[in-house]
Amino acid sequence: MPVVLWFRRDLRLADHPALLAAVQGARAADDEVVALFVADPALWRVSGSPRLAYLVRSLRALDEATGGRLVVRRGAPATVVPSLVREVGAAAVHVTAATEPYGRRRDEAVERALDVPLVRTGSPYAVAPGRLVTRGGTPFQVFTPFRSAWLDHGWSAPAVRPRTVPWASVRSDGLPDEPATDVILPAAGEHAAHRRWRTFLEDGLDDYRWARDRPDLDGTSALSVHLKYGELHPRTLLADLAARPSSDSVGTYRSELAWREFHADVLWHHPGAAHRSLRPVVPDDAWASGATADALFAAWAEGRTGYPFVDAGMRQLRATGWMHNRVRMVVASFLVKDLHVRWQRGADHFMAWLVDGDVPQNQLNWQWVAGTGRDAAPYFRVFNPVTQGEKFDPDGDYVRRWVPELRGVAGRAVHQPWRLGLEAPDDYPSPVVDHATERRVALDDFHRRGG
């Protein structure tokens, strides 16, 4: 009897423990592995076109890597997976465990509908979410102790890549159509992911500690989308980092991967955090509503708030489906604390445009900035969009790259065009709000609730 390997967020063949388990199962029965991907309408409906287009490209790469044997089926997994199992007479379905709320529910439903085992091996993380707890046996609420426990716990070495896999030849519905998008997508697939990682190891890692905060430079690894789709596994990255001489940059990069694991762990313990604030910070009447909120939100989403650093970020998002982390923090803070729009609305917009859009990382980072998370930046930390721009885009190059109206403004003056008087470009908007005023409003709201 063959076995099924159901690919989800693990679109690779290297360092793939569930693939090894499937190959072992198939070889024991002298049979084959059916490579399955299910185009699940529930996920297709809520994912933005840039992310879906990327996913289709990544599936194409996986199909090539399996010698054209990827079997794509469309429909609800609880129907499609058992029906494929019956069709091929499979003995088991192998998966990498899903850890986020929708994936967990989906897998439980599939497991109930199957009359063969659903075998979970590994997870998309170095340490499976839920595994680490404090000495008191409770979930971690704060990042730093989580990171210490994570480092102490450690992780396995990368799994070997099987030299050959006996892929089965089974009818496929064919790859889904690639949705149209204007977003310039990064190269997709396992090879592209490894290429990007090698380039970063050679050219970027040494400077990462300081360059990672500079959106005007190409100072980060740009691996988030590859990690999102599991085109490479963090274990592989951690093993490569361990082989380098230790340095601040190596430590900082490892720490960023720990944030990814921390957020997945928080969401494991608090699935409701995908939609609800973990702690409310301001009274309900503090939020903008109706037409005012809609107009402010539209200015933010379209990159015309009149704050150049914010607008550059929002336009980078629309053009590339990615935004630099420093700028993500600033635009998120601006929406919540300057425009008083709830974080959930911003998080939805990010999920519609981000190619790396990922529920644990997106929702928990939004909660961190909004001050509503467990280990959150305190609510009274309000990012100043001007000083952040001046500090992290010191010559204004990032702003000029994404905001063409300001290309004629030299140097850091680009961060405050309203100071240019008659020289100010007349096609760039004036600020939609006054930052100093709105910061005070946010702090008053916080104190009204007893913060």
Ligand X SMILES: Cc1cc2nc3c(=O)[nH]c(=O)nc-3n(C[C@H](O)[C@H](O)[C@H](O)COP(=O)(O)OP(=O)(O)OC[C@H]3O[C@@H](n4cnc5c(N)ncnc54)[C@H](O)[C@@H]3O)c2cc1C
Which one of the listed residues 343, 353, 368, 402 is annotated catalytic?
343
Query: Hunting for tokens 């716990």 — which residue is that?
Result: 153
Beta carbon nearer to ligand X, 243 or 422? 243
Q: Is residue 343 among the annotated active site residues?
A: yes
Shortest Å distance, C-beta 373 to ligand X:
11
Beta carbon nearer to ligand X, 2 or 360? 360
Greatest Cα pair distance in the chain? 79
Bridge partners (DSSP) listed for residue 120: 95
Helix (H) / strand (E) containing 34: strand 33-39
Neighbours of 262 (CB within 10 A): 24
Beta carbon nearer to ligand X, 66 or 361? 361
Which one of the listed residues 167, 197, 268, 366 is annotated catalytic?
366
Answer whether 93's CB lies under 8 Å from 116's CB.
yes
What's the order of all strands across the beta sheet hosting 93-95?
Answer: 71-74, 33-39, 3-7, 93-95, 118-120
Beta carbon nearer to ligand X, 250 or 329? 329
Shortest Å distance, C-beta 85 to ligand X:
32
CA distance 203 to 343: 36
Q: Is residue 259 among the annotated active site residues?
A: yes
Shortest Å distance, C-beta 241 to ligand X:
11
Shortest Å distance, C-beta 331 to ligand X:
8
Beta carbon nearer to ligand X, 99 or 224? 224
Tell me how far the alpha carbon of residue 396 is from its chain's centroid.
27
Shortest Å distance, C-beta 117 to ligand X:
31
Which one of the listed residues 111, 178, 287, 405 is annotated catalytic?
287
Q: Which residues bind ligand X (CB under 6 A)?
A: 212, 220-224, 227-228, 256-257, 259-260, 263, 325, 328-329, 332, 350, 354, 356-358, 361-362, 365-366, 369
Q: Is residue 287 among the annotated active site residues?
A: yes
Across 337-364, b (16+ Cβ under 10 Å) vs e yields bbbbbbbbbbbbbbbbbbbbbbbbbbbb
User: What single string gives the DSSP state of each residue in 386-405?
Assistant: HHHHHHHSTTSHHHHHH-GG
Which one of the listed residues 6, 150, 167, 259 is annotated catalytic?
259
The catalytic residues are: 256, 259, 287, 325, 343, 366
